[in-house]
Chains A and B, each alone.
Chain A
């Protein structure tokens, strides 16, 4: 049981390049999330998904797109990277206890630098 895994762990991009971050979970969780963490701050939500085939915007969605084609995977895309997207990206997932999601479990993070 690997929990939540993220690929890659590190990446350096040039301004204007594109890339996709992959999040995978093997806990059969319904909900999945992408957050970013900037220096000295807590995490902020980018996008989330309440189930396969669904996505929704979070607090800071601009410049990112997501897809949830399979229940266990949640992809975060940057179409044209900007220096302001330099950050550490965390993926999380949660199960549904009753009607709403429960405790969230986090991946190890992806450190992205945009030059």
Chain B
């Protein structure tokens, strides 16, 4: 099956710093989503981005489908950005998402 690898596994930042999270996948995908799981366990949709670039406030994402990777950029990080960031791909059209193991982000003030 498809492999979804996220890096780095852990990231510690000072408030105000920028960061880049990476998601590599081993096969062509139909869809790709980025999620933020906050410290209370809630999963929040960040981006639905099978290809191209999207921006939402301080966050942006780029997926290069032909090279099988996606990047999530967080600028001017805040303590509320802490949590786990998951990349998930839809490998076979019409089936469920395959999740990576996540990047745990800790932002301190």
Interface residues of B in 50-75 (CB under 8 A from A): none
Mask of A72-100 contacts with B, CB within 8 angstroms, 1/0: 00000000000000001010000000011
19 pairs from A and B in contact (CB 8 Å cutoff): A41-B101, A43-B86, A43-B99, A44-B99, A48-B96, A50-B94, A58-B96, A88-B41, A90-B43, A100-B30, A101-B90, A102-B31, A102-B48, A103-B33, A103-B48, A104-B45, A104-B96, A109-B41, A111-B41
| With A45-B97, A103-B45, A108-B42 already in contact, 19 other A-B pairs whose C-beta atoms are closer than 8 Å | A42-B4, A42-B102, A43-B88, A45-B96, A50-B94, A99-B94, A100-B93, A100-B94, A103-B31, A103-B33, A104-B33, A104-B45, A104-B96, A105-B45, A108-B41, A109-B41, A109-B42, A109-B43, A111-B41
- Chain A residues closer than 8 Å to B102, beta-carbon distance: 42
Which of chain A's residues has its CB closest to B99's CB?
A42
Residues of A within 8 A of B (CB): 33, 35, 40-45, 48, 50, 58, 88, 90, 99-106, 108-109, 111
- Chain A residues closer than 8 Å to B96, beta-carbon distance: 33, 35, 45, 48, 58, 104
Asked whether B95 is an interface residue with its Cβ less than 8 Å from the other chain, the reply is: yes
Distance from B9 Cβ to chain A, minimum over Cβ atoms (Å): 10
Distance from B70 Cβ to chain A, minimum over Cβ atoms (Å): 15
Which of chain B's residues has its CB closest to A41's CB?
B101
Interface of B is mostly: strand
- Chain A residues closer than 8 Å to B90, beta-carbon distance: 101
Residues of B within 8 A of A (CB): 4, 30-31, 33, 35, 41-43, 45, 48, 86, 88, 90, 93-97, 99-102
Contact of B101 among A40, A88, A104 (CB under 8 A): A40
Distance in angstroms between the alpha carbons of A40 and B31 in the assembled complex = 24
Which of chain A's residues has its CB closest to B35's CB?
A106
Contact of A106 among B43, B48, B94, B101 (CB under 8 A): B43
Distance in angstroms between the alpha carbons of A44 and B100 in the assembled complex = 10
- Chain A residues closer than 8 Å to B41, beta-carbon distance: 88, 108-109, 111
